[in-house]
Chain A
Amino acid sequence: MTRVSAILPERGLADRLSTLFWRRPKLLLLLLISPPLIWLGVVYLGSLAALLLQSFYSIDEFSGVVKEEFTLKTYGELFRAANMDIIIRTLLMSAAVTITSAFVAFPIAYYAARYARGRWKAVFYLGIMLPLWSSYLVKVYAWKLILAKEGIITWAAEGIGAGFLLDTVLSLPWVGGNSLSTSFIGTWLVFVYVWMPFMILPMQASLERVPLSMLEASADLGASRKQTFRTVVLPLAMPGVIAGSIFTFSLTMGDYIIPQIVGTSARFIGQAVYQFQGTAGNIPLAAAFAMVPILIMLVYLALAKRGGAFDAL
């Protein structure tokens, strides 16, 4: 029998690096996380800070020049009736989109987490992800055609004799309009469609982590299905629901393309930011507008935390 050395020979640089990282695990961690940290810290938080800074400047109304002096005047402008309208409109739309998405997504996510196996699971993921593969603009324009007065929905509604139903819906105050593609209902439908995957996936992930034995334990102790859902499934799925709602809520708050293409001429926050920083050249007001969704999200998260939404994490 040949004698083998207790220590195997080193095979070049890769082995030397492995040894180094084995001796100093923190070094590897540092190397791995420093690029994302620099990205997050400098590029991302830095731009946010710049945005925050800009929002405390104001614009000279006569010359249109930005005055680099700290003032709350720009924030004060947000409270003007026209600007408050934009904020409230965006907030209501985001809430409506989020709630609708949650209700539509839950059964899909529940089915995928609890019953889909093997091939069906793959079909599920494909079905959820497929819409994300095509261009966002193409999808929104496709919806504009679908929802237009000459579009397939009007045609189908009239074909089955439900045209009056569509007309009733469109004659509703505030949300109605000339056609679906020029009403808030249309904007809402397109938002729900476009952000749906961002609600389903986190929900499905959190439902998947609820073991079957927990549902059985609940039934075993005498709970009806409804009680099990309310006291076990929903609280355990809550972190996923919140994660999904953060996506749908903040994406709706910041979007400026969908309301531009589908809906009325009334503006949303994203459009306001776009116009103030572009055509109007009012960077401070654009920045102040951009802070609104961030503040709303912070308030929302604080409320969710206080409500115990993250207890199951």
Chain B
Amino acid sequence: MTAAVSFHCVSRHFGSVRAVDQVNLTIEEGSFFAMLGPSGSGKTTCLRLISGFESPTSGEIKIFGQDVSHVPPNRRSVNTVFQDYALFPHMNVRDNVAYGPMVAGVGKAQRHAKAEEMLALVKLDGFGDRKPGQLSGGQRQRVALARALVNEPRVLLLDEPLGALDLKLREAMQDELKALQQRLGITFVFVTHDQGEALSMADHLAVFNEGKIAQIGTPAEIYDKPRTRFVADFVGSSNVLPPEVSERLGGGKRWSSLRPEALRLVAPEGARLAGTVTGLRYLGAGTRVAVDVGGTEIAALAPSGADIPGVGAAVGLAFDASALHLMEEA
């Protein structure tokens, strides 16, 4: 496997702010890679380092083995779908999509044919004559996608591409993007703060925190075996238990993670964990029950249809021993 993108000890500092700090990263060719993290965690800066809108303060960035650290954006064979789409308002959809070939000097007939082909790919045939202002958010997103794909990039970068869409459209686009990536076979690098989106779409993901990568792995690895407290909490809002509690529950004296959906509500008598209910949050598919266990708040996900105890009720919590995951780091 070739590495499509690799970072070697890359840092990007803005004054005293370390937006990206000593990051090492390898993105395999043909993968759908997500960069996940809260805002200000450095994920967008990493994307901009790949596209060339930022230069590393130190370190080396390679795209398909070639050092691009000092190559300007217009000479990199990567293209970007911008968060605000950045469509050119004075051009119609066809000219927007044909912009890449246009600046490369491709003739009008040829680049328009190419643009129509791309518009068909994103299911926008017949929209060529419209102006971006006449399109809905979802359609603009597709135009941005077609425009970025027209140059046949080897790596496609997507900066929170679904952030501005409503939930239904977002889910439809998630499926479509995934299908598109599998069809084209090119590498997608995708920035998001939505852990659900990252888990469902990516085949590899990096979780960012404070300019560093907290963990890299497949969605299942990240979800089931979070390496740090931050990852456990950020991805899937796990219960993070301090070392004393982990030890009491049969694990080692280390921080551990216990997923809410792995916990069952049982009678308090004889349960391994017992406490009082402090809050309820109805989620539709289930109810999140917050339980105060000797000062530590532990959340359990009760499936819909189950008996939900009221606030203040005494409950017990049961779980399989294998659900308790001991973390490497605090």
Contact = CB atoms under 8 A, between A and B. Distances in A.
Asked if A and B bind, the verdict is yes
A216 B90 contact: no
Interface string B71-87: 01111001110111011
Interface in A195-240: 211, 213-214, 216-224, 227, 231-232, 235-236
Given A221-B100, A222-B103, A211 B79 contact: no
A307 to B, nearest CB: 12
Q: Is chain A's binding surface mostly helix, strand, loop or mixed?
A: helix
A216 B86 contact: yes
A221 B103 contact: yes
Contact of A221 (B52, B72, B83, B99): B99
Interface residues of B, number: 26
Nearest to A220: B80
A208 B329 CA distance: 47
Interface string B124-146: 00000000000000000000000
B89 interface: yes
A221 B79 contact: yes
B88 A219 contact: no
Interface in B45-93: 51-53, 72-75, 78-80, 82-84, 86-90
Given A216-B53, A219-B73, A236-B89, A224 B84 contact: no
Nearest to A223: B103
B104 interface: yes
A311 interface: yes
B189 to A, nearest CB: 13
Contact of A211 (B52, B80, B84, B148): B84
B237 interface: no
A214 B90 CA distance: 12
B191 to A, nearest CB: 14
B90 A217 contact: no
Contacts of A224: 74, 103
Interface in A43-64: none
B147 interface: yes
B86 A311 contact: no
Q: Which of A220, A236, A312 has the most CB of B within 10 A?
A: A220
Given A220-B51, A221-B99, A235 B79 contact: no
Contacts of B100: 221-222
A311 to B, nearest CB: 5
A222 B104 contact: yes
B103 A213 contact: no
Interface in B90-112: 90, 99-100, 102-104
A222 B86 contact: no
Given A216-B82, A218-B88, 13 more contacts: A213-B83, A213-B86, A214-B88, A217-B82, A220-B52, A220-B53, A220-B74, A220-B78, A221-B99, A221-B103, A227-B103, A231-B88, A236-B88
Interface of B: 51-53, 72-75, 78-80, 82-84, 86-90, 99-100, 102-104, 147-148, 151
